[in-house]
Amino acid sequence: MKLKIKMFDEEHEKDLEESINNYFKDEEIAIDHLIDIKYATSHFSTGGEAGQIYSFSAMLIYKEIEE
């Protein structure tokens, strides 16, 4: 068994959800392989017309089952 991580970073919460869900589906990772999810949000002002930029990020920690 190997421990693996996968990092995600999106500008919208729904995009983060979709990215994580697609990763589980595409990589065929079973939920019982999941060890932990670390989640963080941050934002900052650009000072210009763009206003504020948000970052929603997650790190998945899971075990890779070797066959």
Dist. CA 35–CA 29, nearest whole Å: 12
How confident is the model over 8-62, as pLDDT tens digits? 999 999 999 999 999 988 888 888 899 999 999 998 887 777 688 889 999 999 9
Check residue 28 and give its pLDDT: 81
The CATH number for 2-64, chosen from 2.30.30, 3.40.1350, 3.40.720, 3.30.1660, is 3.30.1660
Helices (H), 1-67: 13-26
The single-letter DSSP state of residue 51 is -
